[in-house]
Amino acid sequence: MIPYSRQSINQQDVEEVINVLKSDMITQGPISEKFSEEICNYTSAEYSVLTNSATSALHIACLALGLGSGDILWTSPNSYVASANVGLFCSADVDFVDIDPKTFNMCANSLEEKLREAEKDCKLPKIVMPVHFAGQACDMKAIKKLSHKYGFKIIEDASHAIGGKYGEHAVGSCIFSDITVFSFHPVKIITTGEGGCATTNNRSIYENLKLLCSHGVTRDPSKMITKTKGNWVYDQISLGFNYRMSDISAALGLSQIRRINQFVDRRREIAKRYNKELIKLNLALPYQDPRNSSSFHLYPVQTIHRNDVFNILWSEGIKVNVHYRPIHTQPFWQKRGFLQGDFPNSEHYYSRALSLPIHFELTDEKQEKVIQILKSFKS
């Protein structure tokens, strides 16, 4: 079987996890702190908060920026449902901005047009959440410029994009956003099993994220209301969640991030080979903005024969996938008033989309099998 993506676990990863299992601290301990520091070093962000999933990180990111009842979150329909669900977790309303048909990311022009109309209706979003689909960064300068004009906060859903760059800036640097969120699910660039994190350059946001991630509890004397002395004393000063990452997961992440450049370089090699070998086929290959560097979490192609190609590849043991059914077309969201046709670029992309295998463990021989089957397909 050839999956569209999968984790790469080596002996060093295993040993790092075993070391934590043999230690005194397997939940919260020094390894989590080291992994968090490495994320900051890699992205050039000031702060990072580890979580048990990217969804958890998106949730507390929204809360840290004050999203609540009566507020509005805008995100991309071309994403996993978590990008929108977190707005509802905060009792906010959710809407979408259609994608650019070239990059499959939130379209800055569509965003600007929607903002102009929303301003007339006094329904501007509190948060805009662009999604860096497949590992390629959105047009963050344009989105940041619009945030200054219309007053919204920005959360980058970079679940696909650790290892990518926007211009010369690492995705996650938060140069153009308030918070960036990464995913460490096994199909992503690096993994902690399940897990995620949020990065930010704002100290106040960071401290709020930390509280929200851990029950709203603090032991920081400068924040505590209780003045009783004792190492056992802690204060709950806000409502929070148990969204923390364990040291077991962090040990795997810390080991993985040391190989992140190898992972990303290999994905780029695979993408380059697909670009070369598939260029003459009746496929639309993914566009890459030459100003940016994608981490290539996905390699999405488009074909009018998507269902036939999908079935042929699966019959040969090649487990391609489709990313994503637009969120607004899901039954849950249609019950909330969204309709087929609301975001035509996302719907058109989905009707033709197919994600080919791309991951560190994909050998040249296995990639060649994928290529040859695609070349043999007769439309």
User: Tell me: the pLDDT tens digits for 286-333?
Assistant: 999 999 999 999 999 999 999 999 999 999 999 999 999 999 999 999
Arithmetic mean of pLDDT, 5-19: 98
Helices 260-278 & 247-257 angle (0-180, nearest 10): 60
pLDDT digits over 173-188, tens only?
Answer: 999 999 999 999 999 9
Predicted pLDDT at 310: 98
Where do runs of H (alpha helix) occur along 259-316? 260-278, 306-315
Bridge partners of 217? 236
Arithmetic mean of pLDDT, 200-224: 95
Predicted pLDDT at 228: 77
pLDDT digits over 91-117, tens only?
Answer: 999 999 999 999 999 999 999 999 999
Bridge partners of 47? 200
| CB half-sphere exposure, 210, CA atoms < 13 A | 18
Please provide residue 29's backbone torsions phi and psi, each rounded to the nearest 5 degrees. Answer: -160, -160
Predicted pLDDT at 379: 57
Copy the structure tokens of residue 64. 């840290």
Predicted pLDDT at 232: 84
Arithmetic mean of pLDDT, 9-34: 96
The structural domains of the chain, ordered by start, are: 2-257 (3.40.640.10), 260-376 (3.90.1150.10)
As a whole number of angstroms, the distance between CA 197 and CA 298 comes to: 20
